């Protein structure tokens, strides 16, 4: 008798409610020049909380207790160690910088950074951006501190959607200042003599699930090919663990062969597959 089960990979924000902020810095490499907020009395608390409540397009938050300057060419890699950042509906995270409108010329004062993300901390995928317009960069829209910071439609800041780069989940977000490139180009639309580099205020995560694994993920192609629907009939694997959406282990399989999930109720789960080559995690739905 032959069994198989169809598993659909899903991309919704069934899991997330409200929002969370980052709670961990994986690495920080300050750039040249401005070093506001880098002292240990301020950092990293100044980037872990919610975005500034006083910021607006007319008010740039510049207190060291609220923002961290990356400096020209600086780079920081952050995340939330208790939660996996996933591709939910719409924007998945929003980055807040202290963008404001220059009262002299009415132009937004932009200190841009490029954003890339990673599942494993080794391989990063960059969000596309356009240097001339700075579209796609962080550090280009003001924060509206009197609005709901969980609602990317009204919060201001720069929002990013994992669906745009085809990733279903990530753990690492890299913010790399490129203000130095604008600063050496007086013809750039956003050139300004007083540019000093990206200032990170906060990073809000909209789509996430409880962290169900501690080991580092490897390339999921080691196990099977992703598509909109897959049939698992043969997996050479040492173990498959199924967690419910609260992170509780509900089933476990091991060995090599055809895996059935008949005893599971229909619904949404997290599947963790491990073998000697590593571990992969996917959201699944049993139908």
Q: Which residues bind Ca ion (CB under 5 A)?
A: 46, 66, 87, 92, 161, 163, 201-202
Nearer to Ca ion among residue 68 and residue 232 (C-beta): 68
Kindly state the smallest distance separating residue 83's Cβ from Ca ion, in Å.
15
54/249 with CB nearer Ca ion: 54
- Shortest Cβ distance from residue 46 to Ca ion (Å)? 5
Give CA–CA dist 17/238, Å, rounded: 34
The CB-of-238 to Ca ion minimum distance in angstroms stands at: 32
Nearer Cβ to Ca ion (46/69)? 46
Of 172, 175, 168, residue with least CA distance to 202:
175
Minimum Å gap between C-beta 242 and Ca ion is 24
Q: Are 31 and 219 in contact (CB under 8 A)?
A: no
Return the exposure string of 194-222: e unless at least 16 CB atoms fall within 10 Å of the residue's CB, then b. ebbbbbbbbbbbbbbbeebbeeebbebee
- Measured from the CB atom, is 97 or 279 closer to Ca ion? 97
CA 167 to chain centre: 10
| Residue number, 66 or 217, with CB nearest to Ca ion | 66
Q: To which H or E segment does residue 165 belong?
A: none
Bridge partner list, 236: 256
Q: How far is CA 226 from CA 8, 9, 17, 130, 245, in A?
A: 10, 8, 27, 30, 21
CB of residue 96 to Ca ion, shortest distance in Å: 7
Q: Are 125 and 100 in contact (CB under 8 A)?
A: no
**Least distance to Ca ion, CB of residue 160, Å:** 8
Question: Which H or E element spans position 182?
Answer: helix 179-183
Choose between 75 and 92: whose C-beta lies nearer to Ca ion.
92
Strands 20-21 and 278-286: unpaired
Choice between 87 and 217, CB closer to Ca ion: 87
Q: How far apart are CA 220 and CA 232, in angstroms?
A: 14
In whole angstroms, the minimum distance from the beta carbon of 170 to Ca ion comes to 11
């Amino acid at each position: 008798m032959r069994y198989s089960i169809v598993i659909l990979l899903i991309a919704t924000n069934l899991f997330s409610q409200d929002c969370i902020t980052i709670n961990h810095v994986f690495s920080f490499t300050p750039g040249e020049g401005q070093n506001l907020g880098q002292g240990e009395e301020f950092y990293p608390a100044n980037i872990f909380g919610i975005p500034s409540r006083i910021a607006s397009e007319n008010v740039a938050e510049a207190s060291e207790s609220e923002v961290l300057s990356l400096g020209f060419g600086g780079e920081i890699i952050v995340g939330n160690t208790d939660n996996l950042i996933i591709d939910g509906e719409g924007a998945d995270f929003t980055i807040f910088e202290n963008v404001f409108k220059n009262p002299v010329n009415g132009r937004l004062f932009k200190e841009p950074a490029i954003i890339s993300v990673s599942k494993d901390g080794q391989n990063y995928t960059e969000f596309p951006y356009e240097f001339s317009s700075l579209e796609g960069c962080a550090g280009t829209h003001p924060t509206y501190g009197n609005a709901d910071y969980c609602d990317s439609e009204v919060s201001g800041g720069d929002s990013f959607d994992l669906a745009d780069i085809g990733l279903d989940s990530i753990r690492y977000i890299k913010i790399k200042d490129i203000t130095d490139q604008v600063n050496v180009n007086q013809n750039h639309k956003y050139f300004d003599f007083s540019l000093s580099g990206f200032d990170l205020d906060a990073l809000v995560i909209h789509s996430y699930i409880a962290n169900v694994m501690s080991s580092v993920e490897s390339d999921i192609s080691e196990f099977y090919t992703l598509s909109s629907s897959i049939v698992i009939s043969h997996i050479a694997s040492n173990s498959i663990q199924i967690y419910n959406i609260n992170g509780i282990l509900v089933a476990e399989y091991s060995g090599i062969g055809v895996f059935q999930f008949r005893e599971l109720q229909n619904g949404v789960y997290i599947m963790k597959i491990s073998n000697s080559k590593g571990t992969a995690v996917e959201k699944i739905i049993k139908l």
